[in-house]
Chains A and B, each alone.
Chain A
């Protein structure tokens, strides 16, 4: 009697244990992390996030990053000074698997870099991301104006 009980209980316990959700091992958003784009002079993700935007038509989302000179704008609102480096990283958006009601970044479509030299001269560089969509036609002159006029995400 006792033996059959113990013998019966064991598989049950093991079943319960294995029935539990396995610990999700990899929760890192690797697809959206910048790891494989060569020629990038610096990793924009290491810089200070300054603004965010959504492009509903293209279903993309972007974050504007700045180096420490550019990031001064967060505090004093002044225009980008000489030596500023800005990056606009754009991702394809995807549904958040953990929350119906949210979109999170998927693969990078494009990375755009604007730098201000010591004389305040701007230069623009474009890097194609693994999620690049050829239908998006980014024209250099337009992009400069758009990126430089993105409103900063202000917080008190």
Chain B
């Protein structure tokens, strides 16, 4: 009996002592309320504020149980990682296409059932989303943020190709791959969230892996290239690929790219193929948006099976 009492007392004092160790975030960061999301209806802003702002903005409200060590470390890490992936505090500094992109990103986080984190809603039931909340945001985007193709007049095609140019490596050290236009198309997508039209190319290793069903994981040597063009209105009512926007690559090499989920991530933008990204770790942005596909080797595309019709 006495021993049991001592043990309990010991544990209790440990827990109390532990409270002295706290994550920096708890003391250093003052939570600043984010002004309501300008330009969106109040109900839409409300959903995001109640369900997402605790981890995706500087406006965090810590409940008493969130402040206890060790829970506070978990909460602090959620906020740190959460804000890295998506930060509504930047809203006011964004132009409207970026704001819309942020809302599409947020909505897809909800639709994939990843967000808000279920460990969080268990303790903060008010943050749980129901279908009504999700439909509210979906309908807002469909009615206000569907990109339209550029009109016929603004056609800037036919511009001569700049002759041989030197394309710089991306900040994570990946060299440009100029031959992807000879690869096969494993899919195409129309993106009405940002008004582009895309071809997803697979190199021969990718195409064969898809045909043999070896897609999870894809074998080393697999490369995907995704090109995006602005949608361009044609005279006949069809929409065509207009101005070139960017090309992105995912290059599979489990060892070499062990730190970035087995893939090398690269993007070059515009006619001048400027490498995208400011720091070596720019690719965390790619990974964070591809994360809902982590059970599918981080690949979104549901590819076409390309087979030789003569071989049965």
Contacts and interface: CB of A to CB of B under 8 A. Distances in A.
Interface of A: 21, 23-24, 26-30, 32-35, 40, 42-43, 45-46, 48-49, 51-57, 61, 63, 65, 71, 74, 93, 96-105, 146, 150-151, 153-156
Given A61-B188, A63-B185, A101-B104, A45 B306 contact: yes
Nearest to B216: A23
Given A101-B104, A103-B192, A155 B305 contact: no
Given A28-B302, A61-B190, A156-B273, 14 more contacts: A27-B302, A29-B187, A51-B240, A51-B241, A52-B188, A52-B197, A57-B237, A93-B190, A100-B138, A101-B141, A101-B193, A105-B187, A154-B244, A156-B165
Q: Helix, strand, loop or mixed for chain A's interface? A: loop
A102 B191 contact: yes
Contact of A28 (B108, B188, B191, B305): B305
B239 interface: yes
Nearest to A47: B184
B108 A52 contact: no
B257 interface: no
Contacts of A104: 187-189, 302
A146 to B, nearest CB: 6
A43 B227 contact: no
Interface of B: 104, 107-108, 111-112, 138, 141, 157, 161-162, 165, 181-182, 184-185, 187-194, 197-199, 201, 210, 213, 215-216, 227, 229, 231-232, 234, 236-241, 244, 247, 271-273, 292-293, 295-296, 299-300, 302-309
Contacts of A93: 190
A155 B181 contact: yes
Contact of B157 (A23, A43, A151): A151
Nearest to A40: B309
What are the nearest 6 A-B pairs in CB distance?
A101-B193, A153-B241, A49-B185, A54-B239, A33-B305, A103-B190
Contacts of A46: 184, 306, 308
Contacts of B165: 156
A109 to B, nearest CB: 14
A150 B194 CA distance: 22
Contacts of B199: 49, 52, 63, 153
Contacts of B238: 53-56
B306 A43 contact: yes
A60 to B, nearest CB: 10
Contacts of B107: 100
B70 to A, nearest CB: 21
A27 B187 CA distance: 12
Mostly, the B contact residues are mixed
B236 to A, nearest CB: 6
B227 A153 contact: yes
Contacts of B295: 21, 23-24
A28 B213 contact: yes
Contact of A98 (B231, B300, B309): B300
Given A61-B188, A100-B104, A103-B189, A52 B303 contact: no
28 contacts: A27-B216, A27-B296, A28-B215, A28-B303, A29-B304, A30-B305, A33-B306, A34-B309, A45-B304, A46-B184, A48-B182, A51-B240, A51-B241, A52-B229, A53-B234, A53-B239, A54-B197, A54-B231, A56-B238, A57-B237, A71-B182, A99-B108, A100-B104, A100-B111, A100-B141, A101-B141, A146-B236, A154-B161
A152 B293 CA distance: 32
Contacts of A57: 237
A156 B240 contact: no
A27 B108 contact: no
A45 to B, nearest CB: 4
B302 A48 contact: no
Given A27-B215, A27-B303, A53-B234, A63 B184 contact: no
Nearest to B215: A27
A49 B240 contact: no
Nearest to A49: B185
A33 B304 contact: yes
B89 to A, nearest CB: 23
Contacts of A65: 185
